[in-house]
Amino acid sequence: MTAGAAEPRERFVRLAAAVRQRRKQLTQIVDEARAALADFADREPPLLELRGIGAILHDFYTGIEHVFETIAPELNGGLPAGEAWHRELLTSMTRPRGRSRSARRWWVTRVLARAGATVQ
């Protein structure tokens, strides 16, 4: 195998490792959210604890965004630019454009479904 052929493979191996690490972090966040939901199944959380639950939701959202920021350079050619780059990044990850997009959408949908959310 030539050095040029190994380079893309090595990049994707590193990319896969980074995504796996982020996925572990997301799983921990989802576990925290489930525990919080269980704690407050019978009562409304006090304001301070409600704000803590909001922090868990924020951590989940930014975790998903970090995954997308990690894979966008390889699969999209880079990150979107401009004021609405966050929104464009999220929508670009679920926009169907061939086989890799279908797999990515499946993964995103699966992660969000585990957290009780859906992708429209």
Of 81 and 115, the structure prediction assigns the larger pLDDT to 81
The answer to whether the beta carbons of residues 80 and 88 sit under 8 Å apart is yes
pLDDT at position 91, please? 78
CA separation for the pair 59, 106 (Å, rounded): 21
CA separation for the pair 54, 73 (Å, rounded): 30
pLDDT at position 14, please? 83
The pLDDT tens digits of the residues spanning 14-60 come to 888 888 899 999 999 999 999 998 998 899 999 999 999 999 999 99
Residues 98-120, mean pLDDT to the nearest whole number: 58
The pLDDT tens digits of the residues spanning 68-90 come to 888 888 777 788 888 888 888 87
What does each C-alpha distance from 56 to 18, 44, 120 come to in angstroms? 21, 17, 22
pLDDT at position 1, please? 45
CA separation for the pair 109, 6 (Å, rounded): 31
List the structure tokens of 31.
């576990």
pLDDT at position 35, please? 93
Kindly write down the DSSP assignment for every residue of 1-50, as one continuous string: --HHHHHHHHHHHHHHHHHHHHHHHHHHHHHHHHHHHHHTSSSPPPHHHH
Of 2 and 39, the structure prediction assigns the larger pLDDT to 39
